[in-house]
Chains A and B, each alone.
Chain A
Amino acid sequence: MTSQPPGTRLHRWLATRMDRATFAALIEPTIADLQHEVEAAGDRPWPRRLAIARGYAAVLRVLAGHGFAWGGVLRRWGVVAAMGLAGALLMTWSQALHSEARITRSAFVFPMLLTPLVLRLSGAAAAFRPLMRAAIAAGMLMCLFGQGTVFIPGATVVLNIVRFVVLFLIVAFFASVGVSAAAVPHTFFQARRRQSIVAALAAASAAACVVLLRQAIVGPYEPRTLVAMTPFFVTFLAVVQLPAFFVTFIVSAVMSRATVALTLVGALCFPISTLVAARFDGGGISEVVGYLRFQPVLLLWHGLPFLIGGAVFGWMLARPIRAVQVAQPVVG
């Protein structure tokens, strides 16, 4: 058996996973130092062990200090771990406060939808497969830490397998939805626009967190105060509203060329979703009208994520539409 100097396997492993420039500038010389120190220690066991320990500690210090900023793989799995753990915290928190399914589902789904977008924006991954793998990993981390272990100790093996498969399918489904949103190769999802989408989703998420916090402070869940405020419902209703939004927007775009005007149209389109949400919440038409008349502050509060989302979409769409208008001027 040929003996390899210590650090050879680590060198080989990191070589394929790290950014080439970082690897050559930082990791390679640190491993070279480790190997030379061990060689200098000769056959004496304790100095040799000490040199190995010091060498690996130096590699770890370099990786901890500088690997995250430069290493694609480390950054990717750092994001996955952060999203998985943040999602697990959000799930545990929501489950401790509520038995309301919308909130717990939102807490489960939202981090998974967000993971691929965060990965794209941070530059940690761009291709479909790595995004998919990372989103699924974040989802499974959430299952592991947010719902106890993926396997229930007391249950039968078959039940555990079924539970795991169901969880995995849910995770895979929502991961693929998020990845599709993040990986669409179209100018619509250029960096700045993706950032806008993430900002709108983050605003919705922050609003939901504020509501959860308020519930934790002021008391039990009141059904009507949480209409449409959970991130999942914000995302879901925004998707449902898009066709209606597009029609209104395109009609407005024919009549106006100003970006600001089109942005305002976008912002005004989306509170419609709040009314749909109020209807979803079990109220009849008269209750929705009453809600509009007597709860204007709540209406504004509930519509805020949609307002932000609408403005963002309006602004995003205004420029390409204007570009088309410039290319094909409206006759009139």
Chain B
Amino acid sequence: MNERNESRIPTLSQKEQVVLDLLISGGEQFGLELVENSRGAVGRGTVYVTLGRMERKGFITSEQEPPAPGAIGLPRRIYRTTPLGERALRAWATFTRELAWGGQA
């Protein structure tokens, strides 16, 4: 089942597009920053599910933030796009544009 999924062309949901867009335009960000910057497009209850899925697809990578001096809370994860993620967003934009043109023709 997984092998079959992996051999498929990766798809891009609307939330994933928003996340990729934000990460490309704003650089690396934390999950909560993505929620705030998305203006309601990505919620706090779903952001990490979306990010996890995108990481499995290879669109983004993440790493733990370096421990700040005096910090007592859990370390957060910082997310950034991969070249594949950037290509996927560009391809998706071309694809939807082509479809829109096709619809007008």
Contacts and interface: CB of A to CB of B under 8 A. Distances in A.
A binds B: yes
A29 B48 contact: yes
Contacts of A36: 32, 73, 76
B52 interface: yes
B44 A58 contact: yes
Contacts of B48: 25-26, 29-30, 62
Contacts of A5: 72-73
A39 B30 CA distance: 15
A287 to B, nearest CB: 56
A35 B45 contact: no
Contact of B44 (A32, A61, A66): A61
Contact of B77 (A7, A29, A37, A38): A29
A257 interface: no
Interface residues of B, number: 17
Contact of A32 (B45, B46, B74): B74
Contacts of A57: 44
B58 interface: no
Interface size band for A: 20 to 34
B74 A11 contact: yes
Contact of A33 (B31, B46, B52): B31
B45 A29 contact: no
B77 A58 contact: no
A32 B72 contact: no
B71 to A, nearest CB: 8
B79 to A, nearest CB: 10
Interface in A1-44: 4-5, 7, 11, 25-26, 28-33, 35-39
Is chain B's binding surface mostly helix, strand, loop or mixed? Answer: loop
A30 B75 contact: no
A38 B73 CA distance: 10
Nearest to A64: B45
B9 interface: no
B73 to A, nearest CB: 3
Interface in A123-174: none
B100 interface: no
B60 to A, nearest CB: 13
A61 B74 contact: no
Contact of B45 (A7, A31, A38, A62): A62
A18 to B, nearest CB: 14
A26 B46 CA distance: 9
A243 interface: no
A65 interface: yes
Contacts of B73: 5, 32, 35-36, 38-39
A5 to B, nearest CB: 5
Interface in B25-45: 30-32, 43-45
Nearest to B75: A32
Interface of B: 30-32, 43-46, 48-49, 52, 71-77
12 contacts: A5-B72, A25-B48, A26-B48, A29-B31, A29-B76, A31-B74, A32-B73, A33-B32, A54-B44, A58-B44, A62-B49, A65-B49
- Sort A-B residue pairs by CB-CB distance and give the 3 closest, nearest first: A35-B73, A61-B45, A58-B44
